[in-house]
């Protein structure tokens, strides 16, 4: 069921769901530029099924072979931008191995095969007023569309962006433009260690209490956010990663140990019961 | 018009293409039209409820993957109450797959799940026989035969024996399964493999050993289908490294009546549908009016075959 | 300085890298310096003179090849008079390889070629045992043991048993070879495979079946080395899909003491020399002063291993 | 033993044999242009070992991977040009499958890995005066350097070039420039069938007797040349092809059934006992 995308102009609004809610779409690449030394932003025209994507969902991207690499499995990438107006979806990705190296060879006009949207995205409890985002590294890609979602739901957003150095802090402008308050902490500035971040979060919460927390991209930040959410008795969610076989809930490769309400540890599939989990159930990784 | 239908014992498939056990799940119906397949094969279940192996569960190679999942299973009641209804509406035969730790449990489970919506039951004998020091049933002809006999004794639903390729003489196992009453043979499950990360000096899978699947294994399993086809007269379903119509036709020529697509479903959800179209075009191109005529139609390369076929190198 | 030397029974190798039987010949010395290898392993000979199988003898896949050669052999006298002298001057242990149709012939041939220039003899048991319906000796533990016993009875030259991977339980065969007195085990020969040309409906090899070799088989043979290492205490020589130093180290970590490079010699004549340098650099990088410390040094991934290692999918 | 080539100007004359008579040389590609719809000519700077190549010998070329193909084995190619003056070797090749498709992607400055020279080339009997070349298709690539060799030995050369159509007749100018008399026969002209070629050869032999015949590239032309050589009692050689594993005499994949002096059929390795065989011993393929 490889669908071809309609030209973006013919799909200005969220299109009705396709015959199949998930599609393997041959998307036309619009741009694929580096955003800093490690990350690139890939924008592509998407079909109606793909445009139903929500914050926290992901796509399985076919990574083109290069003369050196022949990636076999697809690679999971969170949807970073959902632009229903222009019929585009975007991915912010770090070039790490053969799959992402392949992705980085795509040029405008090429075809990106993307299966999705996949998995469960973020859900904001009704009436949420102040959302805390805690992200590091690639976690930012996953959390960015949540700002859009929270603002649309009438909530304020404070985003803590942690990175090795200021050059690695991405999408601060994108987040700010969407109305989030952005606070950067970096290893080079020396304010990204857990003690300082904890103090920062407590101060922010004291100023204006959070009623929802979301995190992605760092195990230590996850532990901190989880502890504070419990202490503050607020809802929270974490977007998790796992090595994936299919991304479609079929192979059971992507399981993560989570704590069931009974207290016992069970496996859940990141691609199907996740990638967004309630922050209480996730353990560490 | 090409007649794509094939007959697996008493089960008629509208075409020879079906998924391999454990490589599709409910979610697949959200992406492709399962109604176009020859059959739908479900993931193996066990009598008990299982969580499976420790992650990481997958490693990747060129044209191949190593998976170690460990048959997570929600048990037979979940199959009957939740899984079967999902697949009931496609008008396609649904094949269940079972595994167990003992011969008796294979029989009991087969009887338990012999519901109207189950067209056949695959016996996944690649799992360890707890009475034989954990050696897989499928590695021993007698244990394989016992499993099939126990299942045939407890149900009238057709039984397909899915053999393990991790054996010396696959033809011997195939003959044992046929003699025990198997209605068809699936050749085969996955070769066992392993991967080590040299830099961190650890196995790449949580379970150390996993199943090697994907296109790279095709030459090995194709050879087994050829060997089994010379040994039995029940239908053979080829499975191993099939990714497209051409791979499927190679299996048919080597002696298979139908084929199962596995790992490729994870990468190209449209692979099975595309293959059905390719096979039809292939038949037309070669003037073949019935796809079943391809089964075993490979002509030998030379007039006589080497009597020493296994002294290959 | 890293000590690269390893000990295979009584034979000391200056490094763990050697060619696999049948993958180099005299001409190789015109291209690379054989004096830098750990050992030189010769192509298998048989007591009689053989022409080998019908061409075509090779088919190619992604990262793998299928060869069916059939052990063309010029016999033992040619080995002693013409082959050995070519390799005598390199200061490197020379390992002969033998195969035969009967247990007695294995013994006789081993005795016949036990010349001073032969440091060890590999028993290639992947060939058909004419007394057992042509099933390969190496597929049966008892036949394997008989071959090794017959050779040990007739010569004092160390005997390396080169196992076939086309078996169910490789550890069982390994234990039989060890008990019969093998000084080392080569794990392993080639997986049997086959290729069909869908368009002309013929097998792609003259012999229909051939040996699948090259990088794609590494996960399967690496798993076998791991299994054999848990079963025996004699040295293991890993062989299967090794193309570079990293592959070699993976085999050492999984339990091998040395490694053999096969198909890659056809493509990259410098592969073995490059690998020796890579292994030395790897040891230095990891603070390993003796390469033999790598043997079996893989740490388990988790505290306990799954008791159901073979129920992988 | 990957040798790097010296700059061509430093090796104007046949260089002394390298430490190893056969080398895996990393050759710098000089050019790689199409010569007609099917064939390309690849020129590369070669090292001293490679430059010892003689007519009929070949190299094992590493064919670069492309985004689609990953050729595993090397591909055998006859040496088409041996330019010791400029330190270059050349290959004339037909783009047929994944290996040659890979070769066709090489551009000047790229590296061509070539093992060689390999195999046994042509040997002209002392005192040869008139050489007959009979070539079709790719056989021309193999026979071309034989003209140079024959002329250097003081022999005249008559070359029969058979092809589907005149556009497919290659190197007629190259052969003529080297002093061969060139006669073209083509399927489109209708003079390439065996009867007409036989009549042509008999006429030429009557005019000026041949004392050596060489053929490559067509089974039917091989049979004809073999029969006439026997009848005329002249020496002859044929360059043969076979699927190769190693090209270095190690794998025994490339065997060809040949007729031994005893009359029995034995296998010989094309890469080591060939690719040039005496025309009496070759059978058909
Ligand atoms: C749900 C989800 C969403 C993700 N979203 C993003 C995103 O928006 N931006 C981004 O840069 N990255 C994201 N990742 C991580 C991304 O999938 C990996 O970086 C990518 O697969 C690496 O592939 P590679 O071939 O370049 O690297 P390699 O290291 O060569 O990959 C080898 C194998 O390991 C797997 N793998 C490697 N790293 C990871 C990882 N961190 N998580 C999961 N599998 C991995 C690959 O998929 C592949 O199968 C996400 C992962 C998941 C599970
Ligand atoms: C000694 C020798 C000299 C040759 N010289 C030339 C030459 O100068 N110019 C030229 O164009 N071709 C020549 N050939 C043929 C050339 O090697 C093949 O065309 C080439 O290997 C095809 O590779 P491919 O991957 O493009 O085609 P594919 O069809 O994809 O090749 C698949 C496999 O078959 C083998 N193969 C395919 N065709 C042939 C063939 N005709 N001969 C041998 N193996 C083959 C390939 O090597 C490869 O292993 C020569 C062959 C030999 C044996
Ligand atoms: C993730 C995964 C899970 C599998 N689960 C099962 C299973 O439950 N039962 C079974 O009989 N085979 C199982 N298999 C094996 C496949 O059915 C098939 O035999 C194998 O993948 C080879 O086919 P392929 O090369 O096309 O993938 C599984 C394979 C994979 C990759
Ligand atoms: C062309 C060829 C010939 C071989 N001949 C022999 C042989 O004579 N004796 C033997 O024991 N193994 C023989 N082998 C097997 C190799 O020694 C080795 O076990 C196998 O190739 C696997 O290693 P690889 O994957 O590195 O090639 C041969 C392999 C090839 C490819
Ligand atoms: S990746 Fe296959 S089930 Fe999640
Ligand atoms: S190609 Fe290997 S011996 Fe000729």
Q: What is the pLDDT of residues C292-304, one digit of tens each?
A: 999 999 987 654 4
**pLDDT tier for residue B313 given thresholds of 50, 70 and 90:** low
Q: How far is the CA of D79 from the centre of ligand 2 (A)?
A: 13
Whether residue B10 has pLDDT greater than 60:
yes
Answer whether 0.90 is exceeded by the pTM. Answer: yes
* Catalytic position from the list B34, B121, B127, B139: B127
pLDDT at B224: 98
Confidence check: pLDDT of B308 > 60: no
Percent of chain A clearing pLDDT 90 (strictly above): 82
Does the N-terminal peptide bond of residue C188 adopt cis geometry, omega within 30 degrees of 0?
yes
User: What average pLDDT does this structure show over A251-268?
Assistant: 95
* Model confidence pLDDT, tens digit, residues C120-156: 999 999 987 777 777 899 999 999 999 999 999 999 9
Question: What average pLDDT does range D219-235 have in this prediction?
Answer: 96
pLDDT at A14 > cutoff 50: no
Is C266 in contact with D251 (Cβ distance < 8 A)?
Answer: yes
- Name the band, by pLDDT with cuts 50, 70 and 90, for residue B296: very high
Instruction: Give D122-167 pLDDT, tens digit per residue.
Output: 999 999 999 999 999 889 889 999 999 999 999 999 999 999 988 8
Domain D130-278 part of CATH 3.40.50.80: yes
Tokens 């338990």 correspond to what residue? B112
DSSP H or E stretch at residue A194:
helix A194-207
Q: Which residue, among C269, C242, C274, has the nearest Cα to D114 in the 3D structure?
A: C269
Can you read off the two tokens belonging to residue B61?
């190679």
CA angle (D5, D11, D13) in 5-degree steps: 135
> Which one of B144, B196, B279, B295 would you mutate to disrupt binding with C, by most C Cβ within 10 Å of its Cβ?
B196
Instruction: Tell me which residue in D1, D72, D242 faces C60 most closely, judged by beta carbons.
Output: D72
Q: pLDDT tens digits for C174-206?
A: 999 999 999 999 999 999 999 999 999 999 999
d(CA A152, CA A156): 10
Q: Are D3 and C33 in contact (CB under 8 A)?
A: no
pLDDT at residue number A9: 32
Per residue in A149-188, pLDDT (tens digit) is: 999 999 999 999 999 988 877 778 888 888 999 999 999 9
Three-point CA angle C277, C283, C286, nearest 5°: 140
The chain-wide mean pLDDT, for chain C, equals 94
Ligand 1 close to Cβ of residue A72 (< 6 A): no
Residues in chain B with CB shorter than 8 Å from the CB of A23 are: 31
Domain with CATH 2.40.30.10 in chain D: 23-118
B5 Cβ neighbours under 8 A, 6+ residues apart:
B12, B13, B14, B15, B291, B292
Q: Which residues line ligand 6 (CB under 6 A)?
A: D 244-247, 249-254, 269, 271-272
A149 within 8 A of A54, measured Cβ to Cβ: yes
If you average pLDDT over residues A239-259, what whole number do you get?
96
Ligand 4 binding site (Cβ under 6 Å of any ligand atom): B 313; C 20-23, 43-44, 67, 69, 71, 97, 124, 162, 189-190, 211, 213-214, 217, 239-242, 261-263; D 245, 251
On the question of pLDDT at D12 being above 90, the answer is no
Cβ of residue B277 closer than 8 Å to a chain A Cβ: no
CB A158 within 8 A of CB A204: yes
Quickly list DSSP for C190-238. PEEEE-EETTTTEESSTTSEEEEESGGGHHHHHHHHHHHHTT--S-EEE
- End-to-end distance of chain B based on CA atoms, in angstroms? 44
pLDDT at site D285: 56
Segment C39-92, tens digit of pLDDT: 999 999 999 988 899 999 999 999 999 999 998 889 999 999 999 999 999 999
Neighbours of D227 (CB within 10 A): 12
Q: Please check the confidence at residue B278 and state whether its pLDDT lies above 90.
A: yes
B102 has binding-site annotation: no
For the cut 80, the answer to whether the pLDDT of residue D13 exceeds it is: no
Identify the band that residue D21 occupies on the pLDDT scale cut at 50, 70 and 90. Answer: confident
Closest alpha carbon within chain D to A70? D67
* Cα D251 to middle of ligand 6, angstroms: 5
pLDDT given at position B222: 98
Hey, what domains does chain B have and what are their CATH numbers? 6-52+70-190+213-312 (3.20.20.70)
Residue A8, pLDDT above cutoff 60: no
Residue A285, pLDDT score: 56
For residue range B119-148, what is the model confidence (pLDDT) as tens digits?
Answer: 999 999 998 777 777 789 999 999 999 999
Question: Of all residues in chain D, what percent carry a pLDDT higher than 70?
Answer: 93
CA distance A242 to A271: 8
Q: What does the H/E/C string look like for A83-140? A: ECCCCEEEEEEECCCHHHHHHCCCCCCCEEEEEEEECECCCCCCCCCEEEEEEECCHH
Q: Do D67 and A66 touch (CB under 8 A)?
A: yes
Give the pLDDT of residue A13.
35
| Cα C84 to middle of ligand 6, angstroms | 21
At the top level of CATH, the class of A23-118 is mainly beta
Strand ranges inside C131-175, DSSP E: 159-162
- Nearest residue in B to C167, CA atom: B168
d(CA B84, CA B88) in angstroms, rounded, equals 6
Ligand nearest to the CA of D92: 2
Q: pLDDT at residue C220 above 90?
A: yes
**Whether the Cβ atoms of residue D109 and residue D28 lie closer than 8 Å to each other:** yes
Length of chain B (residues): 313
Q: Structure tokens of C210?
A: 């051939």
Q: Which parts of A are annotated binding residues for FAD?
A: 75-78, 99-100
Q: Residue D15 — very low, low, confident or very high, per pLDDT cuts 50/70/90?
A: very low
Residue-level length of chain D: 285
For residues D102 and D62, what is the distance between their CA atoms, to the nearest angstrom? 9
- Taking the CA of B220 as reference, the closest ligand is 3
Q: What pLDDT score does B303 carry?
A: 46
Handedness of CA B290, B291, B294, B296 (dihedral sign): negative
- Confidence band, pLDDT 50/70/90 cuts, at residue A12: very low
User: What was the pLDDT predicted at A273?
Assistant: 97
Note every long-range contact of B229-234, with CB atoms under 8 Å and residues 24 or more positions apart, other chains counting. B229/B254, B229/B255, B229/B256, B229/B296, B230/B171, B230/B255, B231/B171, B231/B172, B231/B174, B231/B175, B232/B171, B232/B174, B232/B175, B232/B177, B232/B178, B232/B185, B233/B178, B234/B9, B234/B178, B234/B182, B234/B183, B234/B184, B234/B185
- Output b/e per residue, A159-170; b: 16+ Cβ within 10 A: bbbbbeeeebbb
pLDDT for position A167? 81
Instruction: State the pLDDT confidence band at D11, using cuts at 50, 70 and 90.
Output: very low
pLDDT digits (tens, 9 = 90+) for D161-207: 999 988 877 778 888 888 999 999 999 999 999 999 999 999 999 99
pLDDT in tens, C15-44: 999 999 999 998 899 999 999 999 999 999
Mean pLDDT of D26-42: 95
pLDDT higher than 70, residue A16 = no
Residue A265 confidence (pLDDT) above 50: yes
Beta bridge partners of B11: B8
- Judged by average pLDDT, the poorest of A8-22, B29-43, D29-43, D112-126 is A8-22
Task: Answer yes or no: is pLDDT of D77 > 60.
Answer: yes
* Cβ–Cβ under 8 Å, residues B7 and B235: yes
Among the partner residues D1, D73, D74, nearest to C31 by beta-carbon distance: D1
Task: Test A65 with D64 for CB contact under 8 angstroms.
Answer: no
The 10 Å Cβ neighbour count of residue D203 is 9
pLDDT cut 90: percent of chain C above it: 88
pLDDT of residue D6: 35
Active site residue B239: no
* CATH 3.40.50.80 segments of chain A: 130-278
Index of the ligand 2 atom closest to the CA of residue D241: 53
Asked if pLDDT for residue C309 goes beyond 60, the answer is: no
């Amino acid at each position: 069921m490889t669908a071809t995308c309609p030209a973006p102009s013919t799909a200005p609004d969220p299109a009705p769901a396709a015959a199949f809610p998930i599609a393997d779409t041959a998307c036309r690449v619009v741009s694929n530029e580096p955003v800093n030394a490690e990350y690139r932003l890939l924008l592509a025209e998407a079909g109606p099924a793909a445009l139903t994507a929500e914050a926290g969902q992901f796509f399985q991207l076919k990574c083109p072979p290069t003369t050196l690499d022949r990636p076999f499995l697809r690679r999971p990438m969170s949807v970073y931008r959902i632009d229903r107006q222009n019929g585009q979806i975007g991915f912010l990705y770090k070039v790490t191995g053969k799959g992402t190296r392949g992705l980085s060879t795509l040029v405008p006009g090429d075809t990106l095969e993307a299966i999705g949207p996949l998995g469960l995205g973020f859900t904001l409890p009704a009436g949420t007023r102040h959302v805390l985002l805690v992200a590091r590294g690639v976690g930012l890609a996953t959390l960015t569309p949540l700002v859009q979602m929270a603002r649309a739901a009438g909530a304020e957003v404070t985003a803590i962006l942690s990175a090795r150095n200021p050059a690695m802090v991405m999408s601060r402008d994108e987040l700010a433009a969407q109305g989030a308050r952005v606070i950067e902490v970096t290893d080079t500035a020396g304010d990204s260690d857990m003690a300082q971040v904890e103090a920062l979060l407590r101060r922010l919460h004291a100023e204006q209490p959070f009623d929802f927390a979301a995190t992605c991209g760092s195990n230590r930040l996850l532990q901190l956010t989880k502890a504070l959410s419990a202490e503050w008795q607020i809802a929270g969610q974490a977007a998790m990663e796992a090595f994936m076989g299919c991304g479609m809930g079929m192979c059971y490769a992507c399981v993560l140990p989570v704590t069931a309400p009974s207290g016992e540890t069970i496996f859940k599939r990141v691609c199907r019961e996740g990638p967004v989990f309630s922050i209480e159930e996730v353990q560490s990784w | 018009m090409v007649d794509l239908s094939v007959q697996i014992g008493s089960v008629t498939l509208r075409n020879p293409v079906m998924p391999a056990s454990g490589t599709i799940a409910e979610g697949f119906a959200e992406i492709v039209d399962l109604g176009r397949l020859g059959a739908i094969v479900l993931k193996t279940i066990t009598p008990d409820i299982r969580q499976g192996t420790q992650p990481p569960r997958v490693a990747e190679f060129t044209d191949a993957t190593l998976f170690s999942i460990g048959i997570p299973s929600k048990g037979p009641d979940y199959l009957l109450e939740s899984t079967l209804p999902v697949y009931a509406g496609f008008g396609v035969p649904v094949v269940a797959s079972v595994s167990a730790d003992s011969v008796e449990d294979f029989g009991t489970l087969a009887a338990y799940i012999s519901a109207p919506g189950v067209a056949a039951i695959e016996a996944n004998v690649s799992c360890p026989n707890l009475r034989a020091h954990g050696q897989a049933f499928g590695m021993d002809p007698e244990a394989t035969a016992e499993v099939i006999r126990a299942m045939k004794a407890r149900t009238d639903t057709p039984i397909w024996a899915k053999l393990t390729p991790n054996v010396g003489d696959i033809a011997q196992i195939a003959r044992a399964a046929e003699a025990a009453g198997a209605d068809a043979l699936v050749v085969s499950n996955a070769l066992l493999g392993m991967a080590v990360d040299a830099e961190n000096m650890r196995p790449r899978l949580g379970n150390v050993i996993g199943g090697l699947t994907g296109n790279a294994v095709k030459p090995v399993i194709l050879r087994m289908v050829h060997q089994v086809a010379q040994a039995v007269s029940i239908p053979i379903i080829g499975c191993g490294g099939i990714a497209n119509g051409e791979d499927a036709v190679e299996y048919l020529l080597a002696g298979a009546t139908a084929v199962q697509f596995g790992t490729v479903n994870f990468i190209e959800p449209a692979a099975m549908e595309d293959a059905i179209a390719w096979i039809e075009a292939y038949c037309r191109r070669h003037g073949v009016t019935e796809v079943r005529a391809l089964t075993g139609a490979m002509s030998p390369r030379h007039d006589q075959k080497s009597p020493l076929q296994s002294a290959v190198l």
